[in-house]
Amino acid sequence: MSLAANLRTRLARAPASIIIMASLLGAFVLMALFAPLLAPFDPARQSLIQRLRPPGHTTAQGLTYLMGTDDLGRDLLSRVIHGARASMLVAVASVSVSLLIGSALGMLAGWRRGWIEVAIMRFVDIMLSIPAILLAVLAVAVVGPGFQTLILVLGLTRWPRYARVAYAQTLQVATLPYMRAAELAGAGGPRLLLRHILPNIAGPLLVVATAEFGLMILFEASLSFLGLGIQPPTPSWGTILSAGRQYLERAWWLTAFPGACLFLLVLSVNVLGDWLRDHLDPRSRPRG
Amino acid sequence: MLRYLLSRLLQAALTTFGVMTIVFFVMRLSGDPVLLLVPEGATREHIETVRRELGFVQPIWRQYLTFLGGLLNLELGVSVVQRVPAWDILASRIPYTLALAGAALLVAVGFGIPAGIAMAIWRGRWFERPIAALVVTGQSMPTFLSGILMIMLFAVTLRWLPSSGVDGPASVVMPAIALGMLSMSTFARMARIAVVDELSKDYVRAGLARGLPLGKVVTRHVLRNAAIPVVTIAALETGNLLAGAIIVETVFAWPGIGQLAIQAIQSRDFLVVQAIVLFVSLVYVAVNLAADLLYAGIDPRIRLGKP
Amino acid sequence: MSGAVLDVRDAAVHFRSRGGFLRKAGAPLKAVDGVSLAIAPGETLGLVGESGCGKSTLANAILGLVPLTAGHIKVAGRLVDSADRDSLGTIRSDAQMVFQDPALSLNPRLSIGAAIGEPLLVRGLARGSALRDRVALLLKAVGLEPDHASRFPHAFSGGQRQRIVIARALALQPKLVICDEPVSALDVSVRAQILNLLVDLQRERGMSYLFVSHDLSVVRHIADRVAVMYLGRIVETASMSVLFGKPRHPYTQALLAAAPEPDPVRQRAKPRRVLDGELPSPTNLPPGCAFSTRCPLASDLCRSERPRLSAHPDGASVACHHAEE
Amino acid sequence: AQPYRDSITIDLPNDAATLDPHLQWDTDSYAIYRNIFDNLVTRDVSGKIVPQIAESWRQVDDTTLSFKIRSGVRFHDGSPLTSEDVAYSIRRIIDPALRSPQLSQFDQIASAEATDATTVVMKTKAPYPALMAQLVKLSIVPKAVVERIGAQAFNLQPVGSGPYKLRAWQRGVGVTLDAVPDYWRGRPPFDTASFRVVPDVATRIADLQTGRADIVRQLGPDEAVRIKSDAKLQVLAAPTERIGYMFINAVSGPTQDVRVRRAIAHAIDRKTLIEALLQGYGKEVDVVLTPANFGYIEGIGGNAFDPARAKALLREANAVNAQLSFLTSPAYDRRLVEALQQMLQEVGFKVDIQTMDHPTFLRRRQGRPDEAGSISLGRWSCACQDADGVIFPLFRSGSIWAKYANADFDKQVDAARATLDEAMRLTHYRRAFEILRDEVPGLGLYQDFAIYGARREIRWQPTANEAFFLFDMRWQP
Amino acid sequence: MTAPVLDIDRLRLEIGAAAVVDGLSLSVGQGEIVALVGESGCGKSLSALAVLRLLPDAVRLAGGRILLEGKDLATRDMSSMAAIRGRDASIIFQEPTASLDPLMPVGDQIAEALTAHRSVSAREAMLRAREMLVSIGISDPDRRLAQYPFELSGGMCQRIMIAIALICGPRLLIADEPTTALDVTIQAQILHLIRQLVAERGTAVLLITHDMGVVADIADRVVVMYAGRVAETATAEELFRAPRHPYTALLLASIPRAGIKPKSRLATIEGTVPPPSSHGSGCRFASRCPLAEDRCRIESPPLVDHAPGHQAACWRSGQVATLGAAA
Ligand SMILES: Nc1ncnc2c1ncn2[C@@H]1O[C@H](COP(=O)(O)OP(=O)(O)OP(=O)(O)O)[C@@H](O)[C@H]1O
Ligand SMILES: Nc1ncnc2c1ncn2[C@@H]1O[C@H](COP(=O)(O)OP(=O)(O)OP(=O)(O)O)[C@@H](O)[C@H]1O
Ligand SMILES: [Mg+2]
Ligand SMILES: [Mg+2]
């Protein structure tokens, strides 16, 4: 039984909460993929006389804004649906870039030790010490704003976190007898790292990755004040939220809906991540 | 041991040097502050005069050498924007930053780690749920939102806490919670995973077999074994709390380094940025060195330096 | 010995003792100290000795898993102690090891099929269904079911894990297998099966074994020659029949006397003799013979001067001042 | 009326950069230090230039002004303010060695001499009509103190002659001022004034609601609406000399074509912008100048909102779907940017918003024309209430902001700068604005309002020059 | 005879739907040493774990009673087990290195077992731990107490485990292969220690081992398990002399004895233990049994008394003697 097959059978036996979370995540993914088909309105279409309408507001022409409108009179529902696209793309792209770079370098450092360790880990320290904002500013000044720049900045500034976690875990795992057994079996570097170390350190990495997943969506919003975010009028949850916080008292829906979406997305990613980790561990069979 | 420490100190110096070099060039490449200093209607000649007066027309390598010279003399220079030594500007913020970071760490560790352990021990039972929900909330709530929501609830509506500023310990409560929430989630989940990992090992069963209750097995044995990822995260988060508090400090008008950093970056106050980065990187390197030493302290199998 | 599969010369492994923070480390622990031995192709050398005397450490050193402090080790003519990664790789396809502690030497996240197949896979010797078939054969050979291959280590009993580790070591059909307590966790019928397998392999392929065991009946059954270790040193080597027939070193004698017989009547009739005396600390060995603290024959000479290994006409070498008594 | 509280707390978005009035010049430093120092002259509520330290002044010739200095004014350290201090202050700010960022506002001044105890004679390099307007910003510092303690220390412990003196400056936290009871203009209204640094506007409002702050600066229109709904609070707002305008690149990109620029002008519905987004806190203008400035010409006639005409112009210029890059920074209201983008797209432009941080924005906007983007927003104030300080730097060829060159226009603004005759200047400006109307290198959108939130009991009338004089405020139960 | 210290009655352990241990019954009286032997993987360790209610998550206690001095442990709640473990009943695990906390000096781990049940000071506990090490023949105890498990040899770890198990002087000691990692001189020392314990305190010992020499040396009674069931139980002498179950007989036959030619083929039992999922209704040894007949494959044999205290579950126990002769 391969790992994937193993996982499949486990998924079939997963508790209801996992199924719910998986469908939730699936729904968000579908929402992102088919946003143009799902959104009732053009998310960029403004109507300044229809600013800040509450959810369910129906105009004289009979158009209904299910989630209300934002501060430029755009349909919030359509923006949230389209926002899923940008936000999830940012999260997936930046998390995978930094997870890849970070865990590879971290494992290498923890396993090889010696000067490679010093070089990698001190570089990690350097990257961690430089405020991300600073690099973001430079990137915007030199490369110009845009989605690629955003991913570049997020990927470049976040990988050291993964690297440190991977490094610390690898240090510990590398001392275990089964690593020596694998070495004896003739496993070379890549195999030792991928087959022996990685599965045994995947848990903490997964925790960081799932935590970062939500963070990246929020980060995009925080970076938008430097111009690094998704450029308007393309919506993202982060920018909708940060724009909405000005209207907390007047228009709660501007933060409540995208906030709830974000919460549910992060929840599902976290719960699935933890479940995945638990079930990648062959020792923890479901109870009963 | 001593040799290891010395070599790490040397590495720390190199790291700091690397950081400062990168920051120096990053700042210079992203444009000088002159345009921000002069009034909007300034003429080109005036701008050039100021630029020359401030030394920004020199070739960049010469500026770099000057900067290195200053660094060697522990001179951080005088801010061109505020006309005050950069170190003074930084120093006035450090106490606030330490207070906030400390309080936030207290929130994060004080709640996060017990929550993580509880989730691991009660895995799959119903009490795990509410804790998990809280943890996820911490992770999915943008600080800029949680901050202002807290202000509206605790300051405006309930009048329990001051809405902003730095008057006494009450002032630090909300910023610390807002800042600590995120780290708290990370701590909790990291602790949970690490503890779950350990709980499946044979020595736990052996601990139970000698009559220790599960709680004791966890506190006496599991925690230490699970500590490495948690220590790693703690080191990472400490750095984050120090410098990453930009939004929280802005929302709560907390005069820490984060706020200063963003202002200095935005006004291209090079010397202040450099001073901040120097400080942060020193703290960072120290904290991570401590973490690396702790790894070996926690797990005697991990030998320091070369294997 | 020139054609030897394994040639160990004056090997020593010392462990730095842990110092505290900024504290100087204490005296090193001499786990293996000046050990020389050799194994010819097709030969089995039994290694017995006190628990903690350095058998596993020596085994690890032979495969380059623990650095040597002094001496040289050659496996199939290649020096282990100065080997780079590449030649270590070659050495390890000639020599494999059955680890003493199967629970820890199996990666908990690797199915046992993958673990057993790993040496074959990484050396490009088999893949896909061919690999599966080889793994199935190996599993059968050690008395496990082929369909166990997809299970993970935690789901096996101690003895089953032991067999998995044996299967992994045999996968490459190496010239030399170092067996560190390979059968101690097995029930006697499975043990017999494994011993038969080892003997068969030796007959067919001329494999050599370094066979570490506490079970003297097993050693007697499988070994051609036996080396007895005590506190990091070899105190006696002899051919199997000589050693069991005429043990010369008092420690060897004690060992043979203490070996229980699988017959309650005879066993219980034997006089019970438990060795008295303190085991010396491996960091602080007495200047003379290490066994002198427990030896019934110990004299002042023993306590002051360390006996050297001296050869006897029947091929035995013994390190004892009173070997002839 | 008797003040019913003896202190006031003000929330500012930023800390003072410096308290030396001759150095930094951002609005937050300004809001604080102008209460510590007196200026040579000042403006009254109506915007007229009136005496302060200078009791009176006389134009001796086109380049010479003579000021009579008020006597009896004392600095906070007790020493009397003399004509020597005034002359020193002027010489100090124009001394390149001080590297004052405000230099360009005063660099027309050639010299200043104290000719006797109460007279200061100032010479300009050439006739300079905006001189008095600039001198509104000149604070008087005590020569003796500055020379004794040096610039760096003076920055931290400023000594002025204003109604308040510095008690404490806690960097990043705020500044506390104490009243000077025997201030020459009378007893200041509050015994102490605390300026607090609160960067986030939402927090400033919360401070106002919880009573932590009595008055807060720099609110947006939407916040004003929010404050209005709170019975304990009031909005204090005034139109300022700040002009909200749109820059249109006349040198590079699709907007080189004047028809395209006109199409942009016709596409924009200022009225809706002001009503819907600015909530009325803005006044429509059709030139790049506010009525609060000298040189504002009524009835030039702008390019009115006319989408049909805009579309026609675009077709005519063969520029349908022209790609406009809209450079912006977080300093500009995101909603305004997006609304403008929408309006332009409606008539057939493709508008690509490029946000960058403010320094980068400035660098590109002021740099090479091909990097300056097709359009961008601006909120301009010269703090001198004179057309010269607005359209000269914005559109005069050779100026860093101008991406436009028109010899006739240059001639008009140069001429208006070189004469002191107000009527002449107005005719030049009329002509200049007509050229701008036809050529559209920029487009006036609205006169900006300064919006403050305050407790109901505060009486204060904000002015066009965005000055923040505590002396003019009162508690009134 | 007084009531046994440990009385396991029809214990059933399941993994998923399959029973790994199926109706195991055995008892250990005060001062008695009972050896549990059997095929590796037949469920010995799991049964031992079940007594202390320490089964892994995957394994379920599906039936039977586990009486420890009359109290049924099978139905107790987990929280009250802590007081029993280590004090009334303790266990020595099969894999010592994995069973020690890798990050705690072994001395502390021994002392901890004492402080868990007795109110002694840390110092005192450490002293007792030291005594314990001396009594099981560890040299340089002070140094050893401060060492971590990875610094000790396998046999040393095993002895640490033994020290932990014995330090509270339990009424029942379950020893899961306590001496496999030890050389015979130390083994003799440990067995001596156990014997002493039994003699002095009347401790009941359940000894799981593969070493027939050890069984012969110290066991009073032997329980032979096969595929989750008891195949035979008898006194040690009786069992070695006259096994009544073919599995027992074949097991004894496969021991390499002095008389056998070195490197000759040892007798083995053909085939492997059937997996729990494929247990049919018949005798579980039938597929490997040279004596098996049709009945064996259909009907499960009950445990039948052959002599006082000697029971075997075989339809053809009468023919077993011929097997031993053949081997
Ligand atoms: N990594 C290590 N660090 C320090 N000391 C060690 C280390 N590994 C082993 N030792 C010590 O070296 C000595 C020899 O250990 P080794 O494991 O080789 O013994 P052994 O002969 O295999 O014993 P056993 O039969 O009990 O397995 C022991 O005293 C042990 O404590
Ligand atoms: N955690 C587990 N999950 C699934 N199966 C298990 C687990 N632990 C043990 N088993 C299975 O249960 C059976 C009995 O295991 P147990 O450890 O009791 O054997 P044992 O009799 O002690 O064998 P040995 O003598 O080899 O130690 C084995 O077939 C084993 O594969
Ligand atoms: Mg060993
Ligand atoms: Mg077992």
Residues forming a β-bridge with D247: D376, D442
Closest CA to D221 of D244, D248, D197: D244
Measured between CB atoms, which of A177, A188, A282 is closest to C122?
A188
8 A C-beta contact, residue D288 and residue D387: no
What 8-state DSSP symbol labels residue E316? T
Nearest-CA residue for atom 31 of ligand 2: C156
Residue C143 belongs to a domain: no
Predicted pLDDT at C228: 94
Is the pLDDT reported for residue B84 higher than 60?
yes
Q: Do C152 and A186 touch (CB under 8 A)?
A: no
Average of per-residue pLDDT across C23-30: 67
Per-residue pLDDT of E45-61, as tens digits, reads 999 999 999 888 888 89
Structural contact between residues D201 and D218, judged by C-beta atoms closer than 8 angstroms: yes
Q: Flag whether C266 is in a domain.
A: yes
Q: How confident is the model at residue E324 (pLDDT cuts 50, 70, 90)?
A: low
Nearest Cα residue to atom 6 of ligand 1: E151
Give the DSSP letter string of D346-401: HTT-EEEEEE--HHHHHHHHHS-GGGS-SEEEEEE--SS-BGGGTHHHHHSTTSTT
CA of E220 to the centre of ligand 4 (A): 21
Q: Is A262 helix (H, G, I), strand (E, B) or coil?
A: helix
Low-confidence ranges of chain D (pLDDT < 50): 1-3
Cβ neighbour number for residue B7 with a 10 Å cutoff = 13
Residue C70 lies in a domain: no
pLDDT of residue B291: 87
What does the pLDDT read at residue A112? 84
Which residues does a 6 A CB cutoff place in the pocket of ligand 1? C 15, 29, 31, 51-57, 100, 282; E 150-156, 181
Residue B27 structure tokens = 């700042």
Give the chains touching D; criterion: ≥3 Cβ pairs < 8 Å: A, B
How many other CB atoms are found less than 10 A from the CB of residue E272?
17
Amino acid (one-letter) located at E103: L
- Evaluate if residue C269 carries a pLDDT over 70: yes
**Quick check: is C290 in a domain?**
yes
**Shortest CA distance from A5: residue in chain C:** C150
CA distance D402 to D14: 30
Domain limits for position C264: 248-325
CB pair distance less than 8 Å for B301 and E86: no
Report whether A240 contacts A70 (CB < 8 A): yes
Instruction: Report which residue type is found at C143.
Output: G
Q: Look up residue B157 and give its DSSP letter.
A: I
Can you give the pLDDT at residue C2? 54
Residue numbers of B between 17 and 46 with CB closer than 8 Å to D: 30-31, 33, 35-44, 46
At residue B297 the predicted structure's pLDDT band, cuts being 50, 70 and 90, is confident
pLDDT of residue A79: 92
Q: D303 φ, ψ to 5°?
A: -90, 100
For the question of an ipTM over 0.90, the answer is: no
- Does the pLDDT of residue E13 top 80, yes or no? yes
Q: pLDDT band at residue C277, thresholds of 50, 70 and 90?
A: low
| SS3 track for D276-324 | HHCCCCEEECCCCCCCCCECCCCCCCCCCCCHHHHHHHHHHCCCCCCEE
CA distance D14 to A57: 39
User: Do the chains contact at C96 and A184, CB–CB below 8 Å?
Assistant: yes
The nearest alpha carbon in chain E to B297 belongs to E103
Q: How many angstroms away from the CA of E102 is the closest CA of chain A? A: 11
Query: What does the pLDDT read at residue E1?
Result: 52
Residue-wise DSSP of E227-269: TTEEEEEEEHHHHHH---SHHHHHHHHTS--TTSPTTSPPP--
For residue C103, is it within any domain?
no
Domains of chain B: 2-72 (no CATH), 94-299 (1.10.3720.10)
- Burial environment of residue A218 by CB neighbours within 10 A (0 to 12, 13 to 18, 19 or more): buried
CA-based nearest distance B87→chain A, Å? 18
- Confidence band, pLDDT 50/70/90 cuts, at residue A10: low
CA distances from D169 to A160, B257, D174 (A): 39, 17, 6
Interface mutation target, options D209, D335, D337, D364, chain A, most CBs of A under 10 Å: D335
A78, two tokens = 């359509």
Query: Are residues A271 and B132 in contact, defined by beta-carbon separation less than 8 angstroms?
Result: yes
What is the bridge-based pairing of β-strands C176-180 and C95-98? parallel
- pLDDT score at B284: 85
Chain-chain contact of B255 with D155 (C-beta, under 8 angstroms) = no
Return d(Cα E287, Cα D22) in angstroms, integer. Answer: 103
Residues of B in contact with A281 (CB under 8 A): 197, 200
Span E191-202, pLDDT tens digits: 888 888 888 888
Residue C211 lies in a domain: no
Within a 10 A sphere around the Cβ of B62, how many other Cβ atoms?
10
Q: Give the model confidence (pLDDT) of B242-255 as tens digits.
A: 766 888 888 898 99
Range C121-145 average pLDDT: 89
Beta strands D7-12 and D215-216 are parallel
The predicted structure's pLDDT at residue C227:
95
CB D207 within 8 A of CB B163: yes
C-alpha span between E302 and A21 (Å, rounded):
52
- Residue D10 per-residue DSSP state: E
The minimum-distance atom of ligand 1 relative to the CA of E152 is 31
Query: Tens digit of pLDDT for each residue in C66-123?
Result: 889 999 999 988 898 888 878 888 888 889 999 888 878 899 888 999 999 999 998 8
Binned at pLDDT 50, 70 and 90, residue B295 comes out as confident
pLDDT at A287 over 60: no
Q: How confident is the model at residue C278 (pLDDT cuts 50, 70, 90)?
A: low
Distance C146 CA to ligand 3 centre (A): 29
* Mean pLDDT (whole number) for B193-208: 88
CA C92 remoteness from chain centre? 16
Kindly indicate the confidence band of residue B307, based on its pLDDT and cuts at 50, 70 and 90. Answer: very low
Res. B1 pLDDT band, cuts 50 70 90: low
Specify the 3-state DSSP secondary structure of E271.
Answer: coil
Evaluate if residue C213 carries a pLDDT over 70.
yes
Report CA(E204)–ligand 4 centroid distance (Å).
20
Q: Is A203 on the interface with B (CB under 8 A)?
A: yes
**Structure confidence at residue D344 (pLDDT):** 94
Region B18-35 average pLDDT: 84
Question: Would C268 be classed as within a structural domain?
Answer: yes
Confidence at residue A284, expressed as pLDDT on a 0 to 100 scale: 59
Q: What per-residue confidence (pLDDT) applies to D92? A: 93
Q: What is the pLDDT of residue A1?
A: 42
Number of domains comprising chain C: 1
Closest listed residue to residue A177, CA positions, set E143, C30, C168, B295:
C168
In this prediction, residue A285 has a pLDDT band, given cuts at 50, 70 and 90, of: very low
What DSSP line would sit under B4-51, residue for residue? HHHHHHHHHHHHHHHHHHHHHHHHHHT--SHHHHS-TT--HHHHHHHH
pLDDT in tens, E62-80: 888 999 988 898 888 877 8
Q: For residue D68, list its beta bridge partners.
A: D56, D119
Beta strands in E33-110 (DSSP E): 33-38, 59-68, 71-72, 89-92
pLDDT for res A166:
94
Ligand 1 nearest-atom number relative to CA E183: 25
- Centre of ligand 2 to C-alpha E1, Å, is 34
pLDDT at A49 over 50: yes
Q: Is A288 on the interface with E (CB under 8 A)?
A: yes
**Concatenated DSSP letters for C203-228?**
HHH--EEEEE-S-HHHHHHH-SEEEE
- Whether D335 and A48 have beta carbons less than 8 Å apart is answered as no
pLDDT band for position E210 (cuts 50, 70, 90): confident
Q: How many other CB atoms are found less than 10 A from the CB of residue E204?
A: 25
Nearest protein Cα to ligand 1, atom 30: E152
Q: Convert the pLDDT of each residue in A213-265 to its tens digit.
A: 888 887 887 776 566 778 878 898 888 888 888 888 888 898 889 988 988 89
Ligand nearest to the CA of E275: 2
How far apart CA C106 and CA C113 sit, in angstroms, is 11
Looking at the domain assignment, is residue C297 inside a domain?
Answer: yes
Chain B residues touching D197 at Cβ < 8 A: 253, 255
With beta carbons less than 8 A apart as the criterion, state whether A136 and A153 touch. Answer: yes
d(CA A274, CA A204): 10
Ligand 1 center–CA E106 separation, angstroms: 15
> pLDDT digit string (tens) for A61-104?
878 888 888 888 888 999 999 999 888 998 999 999 999 999 99
Q: Name D376's bridge partners.
A: D247, D327
Give me the amino acid identity at D191. Answer: D
Please state the rounded mean pLDDT for residues B195-214: 88
Flag whether pLDDT at C303 surpasses 60: yes
